[in-house]
Amino acid sequence: MAATQPNIILITTDQQRYDTAGAAAPPFMRTPHFDQLAREGITFPRAYTSCPICVPSRVSIMTGQNVYSHGMTHNGATSDVLGRDHTLPARLRTCGYQTAAIGKMHFTPQRTRHGFDEMLLPDDYYRQMQRDGHSVQPMRHGLGQNEIYPSMSTVPEAQTLTSWIAEQSALYVLTRRDPAVPFFLWSSFSKPHPPLDPPEPYYSMYRDCDIPEPVIGNWRNGDDCPAVFRREQTIWDADQLDPQTIRAARSAYYGLITQVNYNIGRIIAALSESGLYRETLIIYASDHGEMIGDHRAQAKTYFYEPSAHVPLVVRLPQSWEDRHHGQQCAALADLSDILPTLLKAAGGDVPAEINGMDLVGVARGQIPPRDYLEGMVAGVGQPQGGVNFIAQWGTFYQAITDGQWKYIWYPEGGCEQLFNIETDPAEATNLVEKHPDHRDRLRDELIRRRGDLQQRPVLDINEHDLRNIYRLGCTMEISDHDIRH
């Protein structure tokens, strides 16, 4: 390791599934700067988020703890579980770092800094767009933040939020940081999270490509389809989307990923211009994935591969010994590993309460890899209608994987699923009856770690009522406040 502390940049995307980057991506995907970081760094092809929802995933990054430890099991107020003293930026500040966050943080209240010296948020971008008096504002296409119907950006590429985040990040590197101390910058892009509205040329970039068809598991319409999964997709009308819409949505989704990736090049260029690129530690990750038609589903939440499996690369400074550049590490990785990895690189000590792991130590063989990785989502317990209707029902599922086999337990109805994700990464076939040995092994390990698995009765409500509950509890009108937040 170098004698001096490295500058650190954490680059995250929002809702980017694992098979849209690197070797897992379709051959037509254009992600040159992800590929560059992968060539110069260590790729973790078995990286997951323990709770594939925006806020819990970000809390894992900020705390170095998985969902079972930090307790944020659904979207909610980060101030309930985060302060300003024991977060990733706060711990790096104690090591002498200047810290900044630019882009989507999803903190609540949104201006809560949780240890950052400064933050620039999407709200600042939308206010700037309004102050500048543009005749057309961003996202004036009528689509909400959880729809996967495709559209085109209402502003040109240079005026998009993606471009603004890259520009502000580059300016921080070039002009706003204190050159006397190392810096930590979290550049947090809000895409490819819906709405799927790339500008040109990204909107049409993949339109004529061989877009992969959605995978529909043979369990999706059978008795072994989890009741809560079936119900949530009914609420969101995800099961009503036609193949043409899904194909167009996937094309737009890929376009957004490439737009983000090209813009990351501006941050790398700023580092190079400042003479900092060689000695900067860069981590690239996503908070969770996106179902986008697989198993007739959209969004995230569930511990299926498109939702919970994320891209993750750690690119070390070039002066470090044993950099493992261009290597893959098969160890199971979690977003909670980001904090101890960065803290260790900064010269800090990793506290005992952190259950994430130093990924550099794992890749070097200095730390034994984890045997299992767990996941879960639970409801927020709010009594409102709409999407929170199902959130009253407690735990959605608990899951565990050893990297080859994955077991998912749904308390409602006692539904069990088992997948061999090495031979069946699409999770098309539920093997829970065919491989009782692996089912029992993983189930027993989950019980050993988390206690008895309590079964609950299936909630009896028909499809018509579900769709009405959703429509009564939600609105499709988009206000300025909705757009900013």
DSSP track, 215-256: P--TTTTSTTS-HHHHHHHHHTTGGG--HHHHHHHHHHHHHH
If DSSP codes are grouped into helix, strand and coil, which group holds residue 457?
coil
pLDDT tens digit sequence for 265-274: 999 999 999 9
* Residue 323 in this model has a pLDDT that exceeds 80: yes
Instruction: Give 479's pLDDT tier (boundaries 50, 70, 90).
Output: very low
Instruction: Give 421's pLDDT tier (boundaries 50, 70, 90).
Output: very high
pLDDT tens digit sequence for 432-463: 999 999 999 999 999 999 988 888 888 766 65
Tell me the pTM. Answer: 0.93
Instruction: State residue 73's pLDDT score.
Output: 92
The size of the chain, in residues, is 485
Inter-residue contact 21 to 192 (CB < 8 Å): no
**b/e for 133-160, b at 16 or more Cβ within 10 A?**
eeeebbbeeebbeebbbbbebbbebebb
Instruction: State residue 466's pLDDT score.
Output: 52
* Residue 387 in this model has a pLDDT that exceeds 70: no
Inter-residue contact 400 to 406 (CB < 8 Å): yes
**Stretch among 192-201, 344-353, 370-379, 468-477 having the lowest mean pLDDT:** 468-477
CA distance 105 to 102: 8
Instruction: State residue 482's pLDDT score.
Output: 38
Q: Identity (one letter) of the amino acid at 139? A: M
If DSSP codes are grouped into helix, strand and coil, which group holds residue 46?
coil
Beta bridge partners of 285: 12, 312
> Nearest 10 degrees: CA dihedral of 150, 24, 6, 161?
0
CA distance 28 to 274: 33
Averaged over 84-96, what is the pLDDT?
A: 96
Instruction: State residue 391's pLDDT score.
Output: 43
Return the closest-CA partner of residue 100 out of 174, 176, 15.
176
Averaged over 357-375, what is the pLDDT?
A: 97
Inter-residue contact 346 to 95 (CB < 8 Å): yes
* Residue 103 in this model has a pLDDT that exceeds 70: yes
If DSSP codes are grouped into helix, strand and coil, which group holds residue 36?
helix
From residue 402, how far is each of 84, 331, 394, 405, 427 by CA, in Å?
Answer: 34, 10, 26, 6, 15
Instruction: Give 383's pLDDT tier (boundaries 50, 70, 90).
Output: very low
Averaged over 176-198, what is the pLDDT?
A: 97
Instruction: State residue 461's pLDDT score.
Output: 60
* Residue 359 in this model has a pLDDT that exceeds 50: yes
Inter-residue contact 367 to 354 (CB < 8 Å): no
Residue 7 has a CB neighbour count (10 Å cut-off) of 23
Averaged over 85-99, what is the pLDDT?
A: 97
**Joined tokens for residue 89:** 């930026």
* Whole-number percent of the chain with pLDDT over 90: 81
Place of tokens 């194909």: 247
Instruction: Give 476's pLDDT tier (boundaries 50, 70, 90).
Output: very low
Instruction: State residue 134's pLDDT score.
Output: 86
Angle subtended at Cα 393 by Cα 390 and Cα 397, rounded to the nearest 5 degrees: 95
CA distance 478 to 433: 46
pLDDT tens digit sequence for 393-415: 578 999 999 999 999 999 999 99
Element (H, E) at 184: strand 183-192
- Domains located in the chain, CATH noted: 7-224+242-371 (3.40.720.10)
* Residue 239 in this model has a pLDDT that exceeds 70: yes
Residue-averaged pLDDT of the chain: 91
Q: Identity (one letter) of the amino acid at 329? A: C
DSSP track, 107-151: -SSTT--TT-SEEE-HHHHHHHHHHTT-SS-TTTTS--TT---B-
Instruction: Give 468's pLDDT tier (boundaries 50, 70, 90).
Output: low
Instruction: State residue 463's pLDDT score.
Output: 58
Averaged over 129-153, what is the pLDDT?
A: 92
Instruction: Give 3's pLDDT tier (boundaries 50, 70, 90).
Output: low
Return the closest-CA partner of residue 427 out of 312, 311, 309.
309
CA distance 485 to 480: 9
